[in-house]
Amino acid sequence: MRIICFQSCEGLEQMAAVTDSGEIYLLQQKSFLELMKEAENKNVTCLSLVHQTIKDSLPMEVKLEDLTLRLPLRSDEVWASGVTYLRSREARNLESKSTGESCYDKVYEAERPELFMKSTFHRTVGPETPVYIRTDSNWQIPEPELGLVLNRNGDIVGYTIGNDMSSRDIEGENPLYLPQAKIWKHSCSIGPSIRLAETVEDPYNLVISCRIYRNGTKVFEDYANTSQLKRKYNELISYLLRDNVVFDGTVLLTGTCIVPNEDFTLADGDVVEIEIPCIGVLRNPVQIQSRMNLVK
């Protein structure tokens, strides 16, 4: 069971549940956070609340591909994990031209994982909305990642897809530049759905694929599997919770295992697609931030 948010004919945001056979049912809750809250008040899971809500209703007469999907969740905070896959460690060592044991080698092996604040609601976009590339970087890539949707106690209520847009030259110059290499307007996209946790058979066996198109031609494609992750999800969550305040609907990205070759950088007009079959395809055009956007 997946939860989506789509734009209605009146231009309003509407929540819906999508069953595994593709039927779409309208939900009366206005947001995923409202669904979480109602489930908590009734002491049931989001999945059983959705089942109760839709049991006497008829599915919509529409196909998922005909809907304009929106950000499925208003997260106050998106956090991210770093160097959780070998491929990420290799890529970080390359971009920082490290010789000898680097901070990336150390953090890959360390007990404490790398966690960082990635985004806030106002910097995060949903499907089909442009992700921005920075005007002061010449080496930028998408980072396709599985996202854990958490409640305030750190329980996984669902899974989504995240794009941790990253500037490799800024991070490579100095790891202390990490916030600037990771956080700017529209540097994070989330979606296209939230797959309810109980309906994922094995979250450590999810194929993640990424495709990048330029002028309609595919210029990059690669695959990974969450079985390659060095850490367990609960391990990452336990560090996020330590001495911290975590809000309902927080997303924790779990790190990337897909990195384009070193000669690749995103360009204005590219289109990035990230797919995890049980969640969907997160598709975003890439845009250079205009000066007008910067002063808004």
Q: Is 82 in the site for ligand DO4 (CB under 6 A)?
A: yes
Q: Is 191 in the site for ligand DO4 (CB under 6 A)?
A: no
What is the size of the binding site for ligand DO4 (CB under 6 A)? 11
The pattern of x and - marking residues 199 through 228 that bind ligand DO4 according to CB under 6 A reads ------------------------------
Piece of the chain touching ligand DO4 by CB under 6 A; list 80-88, 149-157, 197-205, 210-218: 80-88
Q: Is 256 in the site for Mg ion (CB under 5 A)?
A: yes
Q: Is 273 in the site for Mg ion (CB under 5 A)?
A: no
Q: Is 255 in the site for ligand DO4 (CB under 6 A)?
A: yes
Q: Is 164 in the site for Mg ion (CB under 5 A)?
A: yes
Binding-site member from 193, 256, 284, 289 for ligand DO4 (CB under 6 A): 256
Distance in angstroms (rounded) separating the CA atoms of residues 95 and 19: 43
In the complex, which residue's CB is closest to ligand DO4?
Answer: 82
Piece of the chain touching ligand DO4 by CB under 6 A; list 71-79, 83-91, 154-162, 208-216: 83-91
Piece of the chain touching Mg ion by CB under 5 A; list 60-68, 141-149, 211-219, 264-272: 141-149
Distance in angstroms (rounded) separating the CA atoms of residues 277 and 21: 14
Phi, psi of 135 (to 5 degrees): -85, -10
As measured in angstroms, the least distance from the Cβ of 253 to ligand DO4 is 7
Cα distances (angstroms) measured from residue 47 to each of 2, 43, 191, 247? 9, 12, 18, 20
Specify which residues 147 forms β-bridges with. Answer: 160, 253
Binding-site member from 71, 139, 144, 164 for ligand DO4 (CB under 6 A): 164
From the list ligand DO4, Mg ion, none, partner contacted by residue 93 (C-beta under 5 to 8 A by kind) = none
Buried b / exposed e along 9-26 (16+ C-beta atoms within 10 A): eeeeebbbbbeeeeebbb
Binding-site member from 14, 29, 75, 88 for ligand DO4 (CB under 6 A): 88
Nearer to ligand DO4, 88 or 289 (CB): 88
Piece of the chain touching ligand DO4 by CB under 6 A; list 6-14, 84-92, 94-102, 222-230: 84-92
From the list Mg ion, ligand DO4, none, partner contacted by residue 92 (C-beta under 5 to 8 A by kind) = ligand DO4
CB-count exposure of residue 191 (10 Å: 0-12, 13-18, 19+) = buried
- Residues near ligand DO4 (CB under 6 A) are 80, 82-84, 88, 92, 114, 143, 164, 255-256
